[in-house]
Amino acid sequence: MPPTLRLALAGLSIVAASHHAVASGSYPPNPPRLGGAALAQIDARAYNLGKSIFTSRLTLPATTVAVDSAANRTRLAAAQSVLPDRVRSEIDLPALAERLDAAQVDALLYYIGIRFRVTVPASA
C-alpha cells in the first residue's frame, strides 16, 4: 500500500472516530415526559402558580401581612433539603418564607414535587 494512501486512510479513520466520540453518550435527546394519565391528575392552577414563584416570574411583596413565617421557613427549608444538588445551589427557598402566604407555599411545594419528582413535606 502506498504511503500516501495509508496516510489518507489514517486521517479518515481519525476523523470518523472523533465524530463518533462527540455523538456518543447516554444522555437522552429529550427529557422524560409525564404520561397522559399523570397529566390529567395535575392541578394546573397550583402547578403554574408554584412554577411562577420558583422561576421568579411572580412579583412578590417584600413581606406578606399575617403570614406565619416560622412555619413557612420550616416547610421551605425541608423542601430545600430534598432538591437536587444542582438546583439547591441556585435557589434559596427559606428566604421566601416572609414573602409567601400559606397557599403560595403549598403551590410552590406542589410544583417542586412534580418538577423534580421528590417527596416534599406535607402541610402542617
Instruction: Going residue by residue through the chain, which has 124 residues, state the pLDDT in tens, using 9 for 90 and above.
Output: 677 877 777 777 776 666 555 555 566 566 567 677 777 888 999 999 999 999 999 998 887 767 788 999 999 999 999 999 999 999 999 999 999 999 999 999 999 999 999 998 776 5
- State the pTM of this model: 0.69
Range of the domain at 69: 35-115
> Is 3 a domain residue?
no
> Is 98 a domain residue?
yes
Q: How many C-beta neighbours within 10 Å does residue 96 have?
A: 20
> What residue type is 110 in one-letter code?
Y
Distance CA 124, CA 108 (A): 15
Domains in the chain, number: 1
> Is 60 a domain residue?
yes
> Is 8 a domain residue?
no
> Is 64 a domain residue?
yes
> Is 95 a domain residue?
yes
